[in-house]
Amino acid sequence: MSDPVPYLDLPAQLRSIRAEVDLAIARTLDRCSFCLGPDTVQFEKDFAAYIGTKHALGFNSGTSALHIAMLLLNVGPGDEVITTPYTFVATSWAISYVGAKPVYVDIEDGTMNLDPKLVERAITPRTRAIMPVHLYGHPFDLDPLLAIAQKQGLPVVEDAAQAHGATYKGRLVGGFGDISCFSFYPGKNLGATGEGGGLLTNNPAFEKRARSLREHGSSVRYYHDEVGYNYRMEGIQGAVLGVKLKHLPRWIAERRRVAQRYHELLADTPLQLPREEAYAQSAWCLYVIRHPRRDALKARLDQSGIGCALHYPLPLHLQKCYAGLGHQPGDFPVTEKAARECLSLPIYPEMTEAQIQRVSAVIHEFFRA
Ligand X SMILES: *Cc1c(COP(=O)(O)O)cnc(C)c1O
166: contact with ligand X by CB under 6 A: no
Q: Which of 9, 44, 158, 159: binder of ligand X (CB under 6 A)?
A: 159
Q: Which residue from 221, 317, 240, 307 is spatially nearest to 29, judged by alpha carbons?
A: 240
Which residue lies nearer to ligand X by CB, 178 or 195? Answer: 195
Are 112 and 315 in contact by the 8 Å Cβ rule? The answer is no
193: contact with ligand X by CB under 6 A: no
180: contact with ligand X by CB under 6 A: no
Number of residues lying near ligand X (CB under 6 A): 14
91: contact with ligand X by CB under 6 A: yes
d(CA 339, CA 341) in angstroms, rounded, equals 6
Residue ranges in the chain assigned as alpha helix (H): 10-16, 18-31, 37-51, 62-72, 90-97, 116-122, 142-152, 204-214, 235-245, 248-266, 294-303, 333-341, 353-368
**Is the sign of the CA dihedral 101, 83, 93, 202 positive or negative?**
negative
Task: Work out how close the CB of 269 gets to ligand X at its nearest, in angstroms, rounded to a whole number.
Answer: 27
127: contact with ligand X by CB under 6 A: no
Which residue lies nearer to ligand X by CB, 70 or 356? Answer: 70
335: contact with ligand X by CB under 6 A: no
- Residue 88: partners with Cβ closer than 8 Å, 6 or more residues away: 161, 311, 312
d(CA 231, CA 148) in angstroms, rounded, equals 32
Contact pattern from residue 197 through residue 236 relative to ligand X, giving x for each residue in contact according to CB under 6 A and a dash for the rest: x---------------------------------------
**Is the sign of the CA dihedral 4, 8, 11, 15 positive or negative?**
positive
Contact pattern from residue 42 through residue 81 relative to ligand X, giving x for each residue in contact according to CB under 6 A and a dash for the rest: -------------------xxx------------------
Task: Work out how close the CB of 63 gets to ligand X at its nearest, in angstroms, rounded to a whole number.
Answer: 3
Q: Which of 57, 81, 98, 133: binder of ligand X (CB under 6 A)?
A: 133
Q: Which of 87, 113, 201, 344: binder of ligand X (CB under 6 A)?
A: 87
d(CA 263, CA 214) in angstroms, rounded, equals 42
162: contact with ligand X by CB under 6 A: yes
Q: Which of 47, 50, 86, 88: binder of ligand X (CB under 6 A)?
A: 88
90: contact with ligand X by CB under 6 A: yes
111: contact with ligand X by CB under 6 A: no
288: contact with ligand X by CB under 6 A: no
Which residue lies nearer to ligand X by CB, 113 or 212? Answer: 113
Which residue lies nearer to ligand X by CB, 161 or 258? Answer: 161
Residue type, 318: L
Task: List C-alpha distances in Å: 186 to 9, 244, 282, 344.
Answer: 11, 11, 19, 17
Residue type, 207: E
Pair type for strands 280-281 and 167-168 = antiparallel
d(CA 314, CA 336) in angstroms, rounded, equals 8
Task: Work out how close the CB of 268 gets to ligand X at its nearest, in angstroms, rounded to a whole number.
Answer: 31
Binding positions for ligand X, rule: CB under 6 A: 61-63, 87-88, 90-91, 133, 159, 161-162, 183, 185, 197
